[in-house]
Amino acid sequence: MIRRACIVWPALLLAGCSMNPQLEMPVAPVAAAYPLANAMDEAHAADLGWREMFGDPRLQRLIARALSDSRDLRIAVLNVEAARAQFRVQRGAMLPAVEVAGSYSRQRTSAAAEAEAGRGSEFDQFTAQAALTSFEIDLFGRSRSLSQAAFERYLATDEGRRATQIALIGAVADAYLAERLADEQLKLTEATLSDWRQSLDIARRMHAAGQNSGVDVAQAEGQVRQAEADLEARRRVLAQSTNALALLIGGPLPEDLPPPLSLAEQGIRTQLPAGLPSDLLVRRPDIREAEHQLVAANADVGAARAAFFPRLSLTAAFGFASGALDSLFNASSRAWSFTPQVAAPIFQGGQLRGNLDLAEVRKSVAVANYERAIQSAFREVADGLAGRATFERQLDAQRQAVATTARRVMLSDLRYRAGVFGRLELLDAQRDDYAARSALLDLERENLSNAIGLYRALGGGLLEYGAQD
Protein backbone atom coordinates (compact mmCIF):
# COMPACT_ATOMS: atom_id res chain seq x y z
CA MET A 1 0.00 0.00 0.00
CA ILE A 2 2.78 2.42 0.89
CA ARG A 3 4.65 1.68 -2.35
CA ARG A 4 1.54 2.39 -4.38
CA ALA A 5 0.90 5.60 -2.48
CA CYS A 6 4.40 6.70 -3.42
CA ILE A 7 3.39 6.29 -7.05
CA VAL A 8 0.19 8.35 -6.62
CA TRP A 9 1.56 11.34 -4.71
CA PRO A 10 3.80 12.59 -7.56
CA ALA A 11 0.74 12.59 -9.77
CA LEU A 12 -1.13 14.62 -7.18
CA LEU A 13 1.73 17.11 -7.03
CA LEU A 14 1.67 17.50 -10.81
CA ALA A 15 -2.08 18.08 -10.81
CA GLY A 16 -3.51 21.52 -11.40
CA CYS A 17 -1.73 22.88 -14.47
CA SER A 18 -4.14 25.36 -16.05
CA MET A 19 -5.43 25.29 -19.62
CA ASN A 20 -6.97 28.76 -19.23
CA PRO A 21 -6.00 31.10 -22.07
CA GLN A 22 -4.05 34.22 -21.17
CA LEU A 23 -6.63 36.89 -20.41
CA GLU A 24 -5.89 40.45 -21.45
CA MET A 25 -8.54 42.91 -20.35
CA PRO A 26 -9.75 45.07 -23.25
CA VAL A 27 -8.80 48.72 -23.29
CA ALA A 28 -11.65 50.92 -22.07
CA PRO A 29 -13.45 52.12 -25.23
CA VAL A 30 -14.03 55.65 -23.91
CA ALA A 31 -12.22 58.97 -23.87
CA ALA A 32 -9.56 59.68 -21.25
CA ALA A 33 -11.55 62.63 -19.84
CA TYR A 34 -15.21 63.55 -19.51
CA PRO A 35 -16.69 66.34 -21.58
CA LEU A 36 -17.50 69.43 -19.51
CA ALA A 37 -15.12 68.31 -16.75
CA ASN A 38 -13.62 71.01 -14.52
CA ALA A 39 -11.25 71.52 -11.60
CA MET A 40 -13.67 70.13 -9.00
CA ASP A 41 -13.43 66.70 -10.64
CA GLU A 42 -10.19 65.90 -8.87
CA ALA A 43 -12.36 64.44 -6.08
CA HIS A 44 -15.01 61.74 -6.52
CA ALA A 45 -18.67 61.76 -5.52
CA ALA A 46 -18.66 58.05 -4.65
CA ASP A 47 -16.75 58.97 -1.47
CA LEU A 48 -19.83 60.90 -0.36
CA GLY A 49 -22.16 58.87 1.86
CA TRP A 50 -25.81 58.80 0.89
CA ARG A 51 -26.84 60.49 4.14
CA GLU A 52 -24.60 63.41 3.18
CA MET A 53 -25.94 63.42 -0.35
CA PHE A 54 -29.58 63.53 0.73
CA GLY A 55 -30.20 66.03 3.51
CA ASP A 56 -33.96 65.59 3.91
CA PRO A 57 -34.49 63.54 7.13
CA ARG A 58 -37.71 62.09 5.68
CA LEU A 59 -35.86 60.83 2.60
CA GLN A 60 -33.08 59.40 4.77
CA ARG A 61 -35.64 57.38 6.73
CA LEU A 62 -37.19 56.08 3.53
CA ILE A 63 -33.82 55.01 2.11
CA ALA A 64 -32.90 53.23 5.34
CA ARG A 65 -36.26 51.45 5.27
CA ALA A 66 -35.71 50.38 1.67
CA LEU A 67 -32.25 48.99 2.43
CA SER A 68 -33.75 46.76 5.11
CA ASP A 69 -37.10 45.79 3.55
CA SER A 70 -36.80 46.04 -0.24
CA ARG A 71 -37.60 42.75 -1.94
CA ASP A 72 -35.30 43.57 -4.87
CA LEU A 73 -32.32 43.93 -2.56
CA ARG A 74 -33.37 40.84 -0.63
CA ILE A 75 -33.44 38.82 -3.85
CA ALA A 76 -29.98 40.13 -4.76
CA VAL A 77 -28.63 39.04 -1.36
CA LEU A 78 -30.16 35.57 -1.78
CA ASN A 79 -28.60 35.31 -5.23
CA VAL A 80 -25.22 35.97 -3.63
CA GLU A 81 -25.83 33.18 -1.12
CA ALA A 82 -26.81 30.82 -3.93
CA ALA A 83 -23.67 31.68 -5.91
CA ARG A 84 -21.53 31.15 -2.81
CA ALA A 85 -23.09 27.74 -2.25
CA GLN A 86 -22.49 26.81 -5.88
CA PHE A 87 -18.85 27.76 -5.51
CA ARG A 88 -18.53 25.56 -2.43
CA VAL A 89 -20.03 22.66 -4.39
CA GLN A 90 -17.57 23.14 -7.25
CA ARG A 91 -14.60 23.60 -4.95
CA GLY A 92 -15.53 20.42 -3.08
CA ALA A 93 -15.19 18.48 -6.32
CA MET A 94 -11.45 19.22 -6.28
CA LEU A 95 -10.96 17.45 -2.95
CA PRO A 96 -11.06 13.68 -2.35
CA ALA A 97 -14.31 12.33 -0.92
CA VAL A 98 -13.56 9.95 1.96
CA GLU A 99 -16.29 7.75 3.35
CA VAL A 100 -16.26 5.55 6.43
CA ALA A 101 -18.63 2.58 6.50
CA GLY A 102 -19.29 -0.43 8.67
CA SER A 103 -21.53 -3.41 7.99
CA TYR A 104 -22.67 -6.70 9.43
CA SER A 105 -24.16 -9.65 7.55
CA ARG A 106 -25.18 -13.20 8.45
CA GLN A 107 -25.41 -15.83 5.71
CA ARG A 108 -26.35 -19.45 5.32
CA THR A 109 -25.17 -21.72 2.52
CA SER A 110 -27.43 -24.37 1.05
CA ALA A 111 -26.98 -28.06 1.82
CA ALA A 112 -26.58 -28.80 -1.88
CA ALA A 113 -23.61 -26.46 -2.03
CA GLU A 114 -21.89 -28.35 0.79
CA ALA A 115 -22.40 -31.98 -0.27
CA GLU A 116 -19.74 -33.42 1.98
CA ALA A 117 -21.20 -31.97 5.14
CA GLY A 118 -24.71 -32.87 4.06
CA ARG A 119 -26.06 -29.71 5.51
CA GLY A 120 -25.71 -25.96 5.06
CA SER A 121 -23.60 -23.72 7.23
CA GLU A 122 -24.12 -20.30 8.77
CA PHE A 123 -21.51 -17.61 9.33
CA ASP A 124 -21.19 -13.92 10.26
CA GLN A 125 -19.31 -11.19 8.40
CA PHE A 126 -18.20 -7.91 10.05
CA THR A 127 -16.57 -5.16 7.96
CA ALA A 128 -15.24 -1.64 8.62
CA GLN A 129 -13.48 0.48 6.00
CA ALA A 130 -12.53 3.96 4.86
CA ALA A 131 -12.87 4.54 1.12
CA LEU A 132 -11.67 7.13 -1.36
CA THR A 133 -14.30 7.17 -4.12
CA SER A 134 -13.56 8.19 -7.72
CA PHE A 135 -11.26 11.11 -6.93
CA GLU A 136 -10.19 12.87 -10.14
CA ILE A 137 -6.54 13.91 -10.13
CA ASP A 138 -6.70 17.26 -11.90
CA LEU A 139 -3.69 16.85 -14.18
CA PHE A 140 -4.87 19.39 -16.75
CA GLY A 141 -6.71 21.83 -14.50
CA ARG A 142 -10.28 21.07 -15.56
CA SER A 143 -11.67 21.02 -12.03
CA ARG A 144 -9.58 24.03 -11.06
CA SER A 145 -10.94 25.99 -14.02
CA LEU A 146 -14.51 25.08 -13.13
CA SER A 147 -13.88 26.10 -9.53
CA GLN A 148 -12.38 29.41 -10.63
CA ALA A 149 -15.37 30.07 -12.89
CA ALA A 150 -17.77 29.41 -10.01
CA PHE A 151 -15.78 31.69 -7.72
CA GLU A 152 -15.75 34.53 -10.25
CA ARG A 153 -19.49 34.19 -10.74
CA TYR A 154 -19.94 34.38 -7.00
CA LEU A 155 -17.91 37.61 -6.97
CA ALA A 156 -19.95 38.90 -9.92
CA THR A 157 -23.18 38.18 -8.07
CA ASP A 158 -21.89 40.05 -5.03
CA GLU A 159 -21.07 43.03 -7.23
CA GLY A 160 -24.57 42.72 -8.64
CA ARG A 161 -25.90 43.07 -5.12
CA ARG A 162 -23.89 46.28 -4.68
CA ALA A 163 -25.20 47.58 -7.99
CA THR A 164 -28.74 46.78 -6.85
CA GLN A 165 -28.16 48.79 -3.67
CA ILE A 166 -26.96 51.80 -5.64
CA ALA A 167 -29.90 51.54 -8.02
CA LEU A 168 -32.33 51.15 -5.12
CA ILE A 169 -31.10 54.26 -3.32
CA GLY A 170 -31.34 56.27 -6.53
CA ALA A 171 -34.80 54.89 -7.28
CA VAL A 172 -36.10 55.75 -3.80
CA ALA A 173 -34.73 59.28 -4.08
CA ASP A 174 -36.26 59.72 -7.54
CA ALA A 175 -39.61 58.36 -6.39
CA TYR A 176 -39.55 60.67 -3.37
CA LEU A 177 -38.86 63.67 -5.60
CA ALA A 178 -41.71 62.58 -7.87
CA GLU A 179 -44.02 62.50 -4.85
CA ARG A 180 -42.80 65.91 -3.69
CA LEU A 181 -43.31 67.31 -7.20
CA ALA A 182 -46.82 65.86 -7.38
CA ASP A 183 -47.66 67.35 -3.99
CA GLU A 184 -46.35 70.80 -4.91
CA GLN A 185 -48.06 70.70 -8.30
CA LEU A 186 -51.28 69.83 -6.49
CA LYS A 187 -50.86 72.79 -4.13
CA LEU A 188 -50.09 75.09 -7.06
CA THR A 189 -53.22 73.93 -8.87
CA GLU A 190 -55.33 74.40 -5.74
CA ALA A 191 -54.02 77.95 -5.27
CA THR A 192 -54.51 78.74 -8.95
CA LEU A 193 -58.04 77.35 -8.92
CA SER A 194 -58.85 79.52 -5.91
CA ASP A 195 -57.57 82.63 -7.73
CA TRP A 196 -59.47 81.79 -10.88
CA ARG A 197 -62.69 81.23 -8.98
CA GLN A 198 -62.29 84.70 -7.53
CA SER A 199 -61.77 86.04 -11.06
CA LEU A 200 -64.91 84.21 -12.18
CA ASP A 201 -66.84 85.80 -9.33
CA ILE A 202 -65.57 89.24 -10.35
CA ALA A 203 -66.51 88.57 -13.98
CA ARG A 204 -70.04 87.59 -12.99
CA ARG A 205 -70.48 90.70 -10.86
CA MET A 206 -69.18 92.94 -13.63
CA HIS A 207 -71.55 91.25 -16.07
CA ALA A 208 -74.44 91.81 -13.70
CA ALA A 209 -73.44 95.50 -13.57
CA GLY A 210 -73.30 95.66 -17.34
CA GLN A 211 -69.57 96.29 -17.45
CA ASN A 212 -68.64 93.21 -19.57
CA SER A 213 -70.24 90.70 -21.85
CA GLY A 214 -71.30 87.12 -21.34
CA VAL A 215 -68.23 86.05 -23.33
CA ASP A 216 -65.99 87.17 -20.45
CA VAL A 217 -68.00 85.10 -18.01
CA ALA A 218 -67.85 82.07 -20.30
CA GLN A 219 -64.09 82.42 -20.65
CA ALA A 220 -63.65 82.62 -16.89
CA GLU A 221 -65.89 79.59 -16.37
CA GLY A 222 -63.92 77.58 -18.94
CA GLN A 223 -60.70 78.50 -17.20
CA VAL A 224 -62.05 77.34 -13.83
CA ARG A 225 -63.35 74.06 -15.25
CA GLN A 226 -59.97 73.33 -16.82
CA ALA A 227 -58.26 73.99 -13.50
CA GLU A 228 -60.71 71.64 -11.76
CA ALA A 229 -59.83 68.91 -14.27
CA ASP A 230 -56.13 69.56 -13.66
CA LEU A 231 -56.73 69.29 -9.92
CA GLU A 232 -58.10 65.75 -10.23
CA ALA A 233 -55.16 64.78 -12.42
CA ARG A 234 -52.73 66.13 -9.82
CA ARG A 235 -54.45 64.14 -7.09
CA ARG A 236 -54.16 60.98 -9.15
CA VAL A 237 -50.46 61.53 -9.83
CA LEU A 238 -49.80 62.12 -6.13
CA ALA A 239 -51.55 58.89 -5.14
CA GLN A 240 -49.66 56.92 -7.78
CA SER A 241 -46.34 58.47 -6.73
CA THR A 242 -47.00 57.45 -3.14
CA ASN A 243 -47.78 53.90 -4.26
CA ALA A 244 -44.54 53.72 -6.25
CA LEU A 245 -42.57 54.91 -3.24
CA ALA A 246 -44.23 52.33 -0.98
CA LEU A 247 -43.28 49.56 -3.41
CA LEU A 248 -39.64 50.62 -3.41
CA ILE A 249 -39.30 50.77 0.37
CA GLY A 250 -40.98 47.39 0.77
CA GLY A 251 -44.15 48.45 2.63
CA PRO A 252 -46.49 51.32 3.52
CA LEU A 253 -44.93 54.64 4.40
CA PRO A 254 -44.35 54.82 8.19
CA GLU A 255 -46.68 57.17 10.00
CA ASP A 256 -43.91 58.67 12.15
CA LEU A 257 -41.85 60.07 9.27
CA PRO A 258 -40.40 63.57 9.67
CA PRO A 259 -42.33 66.28 7.82
CA PRO A 260 -41.36 66.58 4.13
CA LEU A 261 -39.27 69.39 2.73
CA SER A 262 -40.13 71.22 -0.47
CA LEU A 263 -38.11 70.69 -3.64
CA ALA A 264 -36.29 73.96 -3.04
CA GLU A 265 -35.33 72.85 0.50
CA GLN A 266 -34.06 69.36 -0.30
CA GLY A 267 -30.39 70.23 0.06
CA ILE A 268 -29.34 67.59 -2.47
CA ARG A 269 -25.85 68.34 -3.75
CA THR A 270 -26.06 69.17 -7.43
CA GLN A 271 -22.42 70.11 -8.03
CA LEU A 272 -20.77 66.69 -7.67
CA PRO A 273 -17.11 65.92 -8.52
CA ALA A 274 -16.79 63.20 -11.15
CA GLY A 275 -13.13 62.10 -10.98
CA LEU A 276 -11.66 60.39 -14.05
CA PRO A 277 -13.22 57.84 -16.41
CA SER A 278 -10.67 55.27 -15.25
CA ASP A 279 -12.16 55.53 -11.76
CA LEU A 280 -15.35 53.93 -13.02
CA LEU A 281 -13.55 50.60 -13.46
CA VAL A 282 -13.22 50.29 -9.70
CA ARG A 283 -16.10 52.50 -8.54
CA ARG A 284 -18.96 50.99 -10.53
CA PRO A 285 -20.15 47.57 -9.27
CA ASP A 286 -21.82 46.75 -12.58
CA ILE A 287 -18.49 47.15 -14.39
CA ARG A 288 -16.75 44.95 -11.82
CA GLU A 289 -19.58 42.45 -12.21
CA ALA A 290 -18.99 42.34 -15.97
CA GLU A 291 -15.26 41.93 -15.34
CA HIS A 292 -15.78 38.92 -13.07
CA GLN A 293 -18.14 37.42 -15.63
CA LEU A 294 -15.40 37.81 -18.24
CA VAL A 295 -12.83 36.06 -16.03
CA ALA A 296 -15.36 33.27 -15.40
CA ALA A 297 -15.96 32.86 -19.12
CA ASN A 298 -12.20 32.64 -19.68
CA ALA A 299 -11.99 29.88 -17.07
CA ASP A 300 -14.81 28.04 -18.85
CA VAL A 301 -12.64 28.02 -21.97
CA GLY A 302 -9.83 26.44 -19.95
CA ALA A 303 -12.18 23.74 -18.66
CA ALA A 304 -13.41 23.03 -22.19
CA ARG A 305 -9.80 22.71 -23.39
CA ALA A 306 -8.87 20.37 -20.55
CA ALA A 307 -11.77 18.07 -21.47
CA PHE A 308 -9.80 16.97 -24.57
CA PHE A 309 -7.13 15.37 -22.39
CA PRO A 310 -7.21 12.10 -20.40
CA ARG A 311 -8.71 12.01 -16.92
CA LEU A 312 -7.04 10.11 -14.11
CA SER A 313 -9.30 9.02 -11.27
CA LEU A 314 -8.54 7.05 -8.15
CA THR A 315 -10.66 4.74 -6.01
CA ALA A 316 -9.14 3.17 -2.92
CA ALA A 317 -10.30 1.51 0.27
CA PHE A 318 -8.68 0.30 3.46
CA GLY A 319 -10.45 -1.58 6.20
CA PHE A 320 -11.05 -4.80 8.11
CA ALA A 321 -13.20 -7.88 7.53
CA SER A 322 -13.76 -10.70 10.01
CA GLY A 323 -16.24 -13.37 10.93
CA ALA A 324 -16.19 -12.31 14.56
CA LEU A 325 -16.60 -8.84 15.98
CA ASP A 326 -13.90 -9.28 18.64
CA SER A 327 -11.27 -10.04 15.98
CA LEU A 328 -12.39 -7.39 13.48
CA PHE A 329 -9.45 -5.05 14.05
CA ASN A 330 -6.73 -7.67 14.25
CA ALA A 331 -3.81 -7.36 11.87
CA SER A 332 -4.89 -10.54 10.08
CA SER A 333 -8.31 -8.97 9.29
CA ARG A 334 -6.92 -6.08 7.27
CA ALA A 335 -8.15 -5.65 3.70
CA TRP A 336 -7.48 -2.98 1.07
CA SER A 337 -8.05 -2.13 -2.58
CA PHE A 338 -6.42 0.36 -4.92
CA THR A 339 -7.96 1.16 -8.33
CA PRO A 340 -6.49 3.95 -10.47
CA GLN A 341 -8.27 4.55 -13.76
CA VAL A 342 -7.39 6.53 -16.87
CA ALA A 343 -10.08 7.57 -19.36
CA ALA A 344 -9.19 9.30 -22.61
CA PRO A 345 -11.78 10.70 -25.03
CA ILE A 346 -11.66 9.03 -28.44
CA PHE A 347 -14.94 9.84 -30.14
CA GLN A 348 -17.56 12.19 -28.68
CA GLY A 349 -19.55 13.06 -31.80
CA GLY A 350 -18.19 16.62 -31.83
CA GLN A 351 -19.39 17.44 -28.32
CA LEU A 352 -15.97 18.44 -27.01
CA ARG A 353 -15.30 20.73 -29.96
CA GLY A 354 -18.80 22.17 -29.68
CA ASN A 355 -18.34 22.85 -25.96
CA LEU A 356 -15.05 24.61 -26.65
CA ASP A 357 -16.55 26.72 -29.44
CA LEU A 358 -19.47 27.61 -27.19
CA ALA A 359 -17.14 28.62 -24.35
CA GLU A 360 -15.10 30.81 -26.68
CA VAL A 361 -18.21 32.51 -28.07
CA ARG A 362 -19.47 33.16 -24.55
CA LYS A 363 -16.13 34.68 -23.69
CA SER A 364 -16.45 37.01 -26.68
CA VAL A 365 -19.93 37.95 -25.46
CA ALA A 366 -18.50 38.63 -22.00
CA VAL A 367 -15.86 40.93 -23.54
CA ALA A 368 -18.58 42.84 -25.39
CA ASN A 369 -20.69 43.08 -22.22
CA TYR A 370 -17.70 44.41 -20.30
CA GLU A 371 -16.99 47.06 -22.92
CA ARG A 372 -20.67 47.99 -23.13
CA ALA A 373 -20.85 48.39 -19.34
CA ILE A 374 -17.92 50.82 -19.50
CA GLN A 375 -19.45 52.78 -22.36
CA SER A 376 -22.85 52.96 -20.67
CA ALA A 377 -21.27 54.18 -17.44
CA PHE A 378 -19.26 56.83 -19.33
CA ARG A 379 -22.38 58.03 -21.12
CA GLU A 380 -24.38 58.22 -17.85
CA VAL A 381 -21.67 60.31 -16.20
CA ALA A 382 -21.32 62.55 -19.26
CA ASP A 383 -25.09 63.15 -19.28
CA GLY A 384 -24.98 64.04 -15.60
CA LEU A 385 -22.13 66.48 -16.18
CA ALA A 386 -24.09 68.11 -19.00
CA GLY A 387 -26.92 68.65 -16.55
CA ARG A 388 -24.52 69.91 -13.89
CA ALA A 389 -23.25 72.54 -16.31
CA THR A 390 -26.64 73.81 -17.56
CA PHE A 391 -29.43 73.34 -15.02
CA GLU A 392 -28.49 76.23 -12.74
CA ARG A 393 -28.55 78.75 -15.60
CA GLN A 394 -31.83 77.29 -16.84
CA LEU A 395 -33.35 77.57 -13.37
CA ASP A 396 -32.28 81.21 -13.07
CA ALA A 397 -33.89 81.98 -16.41
CA GLN A 398 -37.09 80.16 -15.46
CA ARG A 399 -37.33 82.03 -12.15
CA GLN A 400 -37.06 85.30 -14.04
CA ALA A 401 -39.78 84.08 -16.39
CA VAL A 402 -42.06 83.37 -13.40
CA ALA A 403 -41.43 86.87 -12.05
CA THR A 404 -42.29 88.31 -15.46
CA THR A 405 -45.54 86.36 -15.85
CA ALA A 406 -46.59 87.31 -12.30
CA ARG A 407 -46.04 90.98 -13.09
CA ARG A 408 -48.00 90.59 -16.32
CA VAL A 409 -50.95 89.05 -14.44
CA MET A 410 -51.00 91.95 -12.02
CA LEU A 411 -50.96 94.58 -14.78
CA SER A 412 -53.53 92.74 -16.90
CA ASP A 413 -55.87 92.46 -13.95
CA LEU A 414 -55.61 96.18 -13.25
CA ARG A 415 -56.34 97.02 -16.90
CA TYR A 416 -59.25 94.61 -17.04
CA ARG A 417 -60.85 96.09 -13.95
CA ALA A 418 -60.33 99.56 -15.39
CA GLY A 419 -61.99 98.48 -18.63
CA VAL A 420 -58.93 99.20 -20.74
CA PHE A 421 -58.56 95.62 -22.05
CA GLY A 422 -60.87 92.67 -22.36
CA ARG A 423 -60.97 89.46 -20.42
CA LEU A 424 -58.93 87.54 -23.02
CA GLU A 425 -55.67 89.34 -22.19
CA LEU A 426 -56.06 88.56 -18.48
CA LEU A 427 -56.93 84.97 -19.28
CA ASP A 428 -53.76 84.54 -21.35
CA ALA A 429 -51.63 86.14 -18.65
CA GLN A 430 -53.04 83.87 -15.94
CA ARG A 431 -52.50 80.75 -18.05
CA ASP A 432 -48.92 81.76 -18.87
CA ASP A 433 -48.18 82.36 -15.20
CA TYR A 434 -49.63 78.98 -14.19
CA ALA A 435 -47.61 77.23 -16.90
CA ALA A 436 -44.42 79.06 -15.90
CA ARG A 437 -44.79 78.15 -12.22
CA SER A 438 -45.53 74.52 -13.09
CA ALA A 439 -42.51 74.42 -15.41
CA LEU A 440 -40.32 75.82 -12.62
CA LEU A 441 -41.38 72.99 -10.31
CA ASP A 442 -40.66 70.45 -13.06
CA LEU A 443 -37.26 72.00 -13.66
CA GLU A 444 -36.35 71.96 -9.96
CA ARG A 445 -37.20 68.28 -9.82
CA GLU A 446 -35.19 67.58 -13.02
CA ASN A 447 -32.18 69.35 -11.57
CA LEU A 448 -32.30 67.23 -8.42
CA SER A 449 -32.91 64.06 -10.43
CA ASN A 450 -29.90 64.84 -12.57
CA ALA A 451 -27.77 65.10 -9.42
CA ILE A 452 -29.14 61.76 -8.22
CA GLY A 453 -28.40 60.19 -11.59
CA LEU A 454 -24.84 61.53 -11.57
CA TYR A 455 -24.30 60.28 -8.02
CA ARG A 456 -25.57 56.84 -9.03
CA ALA A 457 -23.55 56.82 -12.28
CA LEU A 458 -20.36 57.52 -10.33
CA GLY A 459 -20.97 54.55 -8.03
CA GLY A 460 -22.29 56.53 -5.08
CA GLY A 461 -24.62 54.91 -2.58
CA LEU A 462 -22.52 52.16 -1.06
CA LEU A 463 -21.42 54.34 1.86
CA GLU A 464 -23.81 55.57 4.51
CA TYR A 465 -21.37 58.25 5.57
CA GLY A 466 -18.38 59.71 3.79
CA ALA A 467 -15.13 57.79 3.32
CA GLN A 468 -13.41 60.17 5.73
CA ASP A 469 -15.56 58.79 8.54
CA-nearest of 161, 182, 172, 160 to 50 is 172
Tell how far CA 319 is from the center of its chain: 53
Alpha-carbon distance values, 251 to 7, 173, 255, 318 (Å): 64, 16, 12, 60
SS3 340: strand
The H-assigned helical ranges of 108-213 are 142-208
- Taking only the tens place, the pLDDT of each residue in 181-223 is 999 999 999 999 998 888 888 888 877 877 777 887 888 888 8
Q: Please give the pLDDT value at position 16.
A: 53
Q: What is the CA radius of gyration of the chain?
A: 38
pLDDT at 7: 43
Spans of the chain, pLDDT less than 50: 1-15, 469
What are the phi and psi torsion angles at 269 (to 5°)? -70, 120
Question: What pLDDT is stored for residue 43 in this prediction?
Answer: 86
Which pLDDT score is estimated for 5?
A: 43
Q: Which CATH superfamily, name and number, covers 96-137+312-343?
A: Outer membrane efflux proteins (OEP) (2.20.200.10)
pLDDT at 130: 80
- Beta carbons of 315 and 135 less than 8 angstroms apart: yes
Q: How far apart are the C-alpha atoms of 342 and 269, rounded to whole Å?
A: 66
The pairing of beta strand 334-343 with beta strand 98-108: unpaired
Q: What is the pLDDT of residue 137?
A: 80
Domain ranges in the chain are: 14-94+138-309+354-457, 96-137+312-343
Quick check: helix, strand or coil at residue 127?
strand
Class of the domain covering 14-94+138-309+354-457: mainly alpha
Per-residue pLDDT at 287: 95
CB 99 within 8 A of CB 130: yes
C-alpha closest to that of 253 among 51, 59, 55, 56: 59
- Single-letter amino acid, residue 469: D
Q: What is the pLDDT of residues 150-171, one digit of tens each?
A: 999 999 999 999 999 999 999 9
Task: Count CA within 13 A, CB hemisphere, residue 163.
Answer: 19
Q: Reduced to 3 states, what is the DSSP secondary structure of residue 461?
A: coil
